């Protein structure tokens, strides 16, 4: 049955006409789906009973609850969703005093095969639809709002498209979900509240920069192409230098922001020569660098940089003109930290259905 969640206003207007409703009912459908976020046709009280029956006969809403939840000792929550028969993805809710961030997946598994990323060991199991992406947001938000006893429509303040998968490899569905999140007929979020990550797939990246105003995060991890190629196969197709040259064509000095994600490994990419090459590579781009602690999990191939070296790298780059921060690690104990999403049905999870 065809899913309504993830359809644009124009498509919902076509749906209304298809089932014998007036065109303006498409806007009513958008309000029920995206503003009021109903999960059944019965709740759509300003649509006639005949119209609701016609909709239910040909369409489904497309909402489904997570099947499991894990709670970290630091308050991070991880949710497991089934998106197709026996295909699973994870989303991570990260609460902080001044914000509530949800990290969403865009693919089931990942094709990129980065050597340091546990998610890459899953392989690729399919694209997520816009409905699958939005469902993560709506379902987690509903639970968090309940947990916080919130009187506001949304408890979430920020979204990061940094879960399973490479967003630029599923760009049609990513852009569709972003349109619905930011449009007036949808959730009307500011693009400044959303960040989309990429390893640097140039064709998709250029289109994203042209068609979206959301923030961008580039998974960098090593400024030397030859060294980056050893850990990130995508470097063989699109060099980080080509990615940076593309970024130079865009203005990041106003509302839109670009950041570079940089996992630190001791003696591997946290050295003075890497710091100098980072400065050369990114010179002239208004950006920031986020240093990330390596979450090894079952991956013993790499060793984390020590705290003192990460602080040196942060302070050195910042002093040279690139604002650099050390990202606080969250949810590592439940395999919810950066690069650790492997759809694990572990004993610390509980069913939520």
Poorest-pLDDT segment among 48-57, 239-248, 272-281, 339-348: 339-348
pLDDT at 151: 44
Average pLDDT over residues 314-334: 95
Query: Could you tell me which residues come within 8 angstroms of residue 296 by beta carbon, excluding any fewer than 6 positions away?
Result: 302, 303, 304
pLDDT at 85 (0 to 100): 80
Say what the pLDDT of residue 345 is: 53
pLDDT value of position 145: 83
Q: Residue for token digits 């809710």?
A: 93
pLDDT surpasses 80 at 352: no
What pLDDT, on a 0 to 100 scale, did the predictor assign at position 214?
98
Residue 129 banded pLDDT, cuts 50, 70, 90: very high
Burial of residue 207, with CB atoms counted within 10 A of its CB: 0-12 exposed, 13-18 middle, 19 or more buried: middle
**Is the pLDDT score of 246 beyond 50?**
yes
Residues with active-site annotation = 90, 338
User: How much of the chain exceeds pLDDT 90, in percent?
Assistant: 83
Q: How far is CA 53 from CA 3, 27, 34, 40, 42, in A?
A: 15, 18, 20, 11, 9
Q: Do the beta carbons of residue 34 and residue 8 sit within 8 Å?
A: no
Give mean pLDDT, residues 282-292. Answer: 96
Mean pLDDT for 64-80 is 95
Least confident of 116-130, 143-157, 176-190, 281-295: 143-157
What is the C-alpha separation between 339 and 62, in angstroms, rounded? 28
Confidence category of residue 297, pLDDT binned at 50, 70, 90 = low
Which tens digit of pLDDT belongs to each residue from 8-43? 999 999 999 999 999 999 999 999 999 999 999 999
342 compared with 33, residue with greater pLDDT: 33
More confident residue, 266 or 353: 266
**What does the pLDDT read at residue 109?**
95
Two structure tokens written together for 24 = 């303006």
Mean pLDDT score, 280-305: 86
Beta-bridged to residue 250, according to DSSP, are none
Q: How confident is the model at residue 347 (pLDDT cuts 50, 70, 90)?
A: very low
pLDDT in tens, 132-175: 999 999 999 999 887 654 444 578 999 999 999 999 999 999 99
Determine which helix (DSSP H) or strand (DSSP E) holds 70, and give its type and residue range: strand 68-71
- Cα-Cα-Cα-Cα torsion 270, 273, 279, 281, nearest 10 degrees, comes to -100
> What is the percentage of the chain residues whose pLDDT exceeds 70?
94
Residue with tokens 């989309």: 196
Residue 86 is predicted with a pLDDT of 85
Confidence of residue 353 (pLDDT cuts 50, 70, 90): very low
**Separation of alpha carbons 246 and 248, rounded Å:** 5
DSSP state letter for 265: B
Apex 253 CA angle, 282 and 204, nearest 5: 65
Mean pLDDT of 182-207: 97
Give the model's pLDDT for residue 300.
62
Residue 158: which H helix or E strand, with range?
Answer: strand 158-161
The confidence band for 286, taking pLDDT boundaries of 50, 70 and 90, is very high
- The pLDDT value recorded for residue 84 is 84
Q: C-alpha angle 241/246/247, rounded to 5°?
A: 95
pTM, two decimals, is: 0.94
Phi, psi of 297 (to 5 degrees): 50, -120
Which pLDDT belongs to residue 255?
Answer: 87
Average pLDDT, the chain: 93
* DSSP-derived 3-state class of residue 250: coil
184 is written with which tokens? Answer: 């007036």
Distance, in Å, from the CA atom of 208 to the CA atom of 211, rounded to the nearest integer, reads 5
Q: Long-range contacts: 280-287, Cβ < 8 Å, 24+?
A: 280/223, 281/223, 281/240, 281/241, 281/244, 282/244, 282/322, 284/248, 285/244, 285/247, 285/248, 285/252, 285/258, 286/251, 286/252, 286/253, 286/258, 287/252, 287/257, 287/258, 287/259, 287/260, 287/322
Does 227 score more than 50 pLDDT? yes
Question: What was the pLDDT predicted at 350?
Answer: 52
């Amino acid at each position: 049955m065809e899913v309504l969640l993830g359809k644009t206003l124009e498509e919902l207007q076509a749906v209304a006409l298809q089932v014998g409703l007036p065109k303006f009912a498409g806007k009513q459908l958008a309000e029920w789906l995206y503003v009021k976020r109903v999960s059944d046709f019965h709740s759509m009280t300003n649509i006639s009973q005949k119209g609701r029956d016609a909709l239910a006969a040909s369409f489904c809403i497309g909402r489904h609850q997570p099947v499991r939840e894990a709670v970290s000792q630091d308050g991070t929550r991880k949710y497991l969703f089934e998106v197709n028969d026996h295909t699973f993805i994870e989303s991570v809710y990260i609460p902080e005093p001044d914000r509530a961030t949800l990290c969403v997946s865009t693919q089931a598994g990942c094709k990129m095969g980065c050597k340091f990323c546990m998610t890459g060991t899953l392989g690729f199991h399919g694209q997520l639809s816009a409905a699958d992406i939005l469902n993560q947001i709506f379902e987690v938000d509903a639970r968090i709002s309940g947990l916080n006893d919130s009187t506001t429509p949304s408890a979430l303040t920020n979204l990061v498209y940094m879960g399973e998968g490479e967003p630029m490899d599923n760009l049609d569905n990513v852009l569709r979900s972003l349109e619905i999140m930011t449009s007036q007929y949808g959730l009307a979020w500011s693009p400044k509240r959303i960040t989309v990550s990429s390893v640097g797939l140039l064709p998709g990246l250029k289109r994203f920069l042209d068609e979206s105003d959301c923030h961008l995060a580039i998974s960098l991890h090593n400024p030397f192409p030859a060294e980056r190629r050893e850990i990130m196969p995508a470097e063989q197709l699109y060099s980080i230098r080509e990615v940076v040259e593309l970024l130079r064509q865009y203005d990041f000095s106003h509302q839109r922001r670009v950041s570079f994600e940089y996992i630190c490994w001791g003696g591997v990419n946290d050295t003075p020569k890497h710091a100098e090459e980072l400065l050369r590579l990114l010179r002239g781009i208004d950006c920031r660098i986020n240093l990330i602690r390596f979450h090894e999990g079952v991956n013993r191939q790499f060793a984390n940089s020590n705290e003192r070296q990460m602080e040196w790298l942060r302070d050195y780059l910042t002093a040279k003109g690139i604002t650099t921060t050390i990202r606080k690690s969250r949810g590592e104990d439940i395999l919810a930290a950066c690069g650790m999403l492997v759809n694990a049905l572990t004993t610390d999870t509980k069913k939520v259905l």
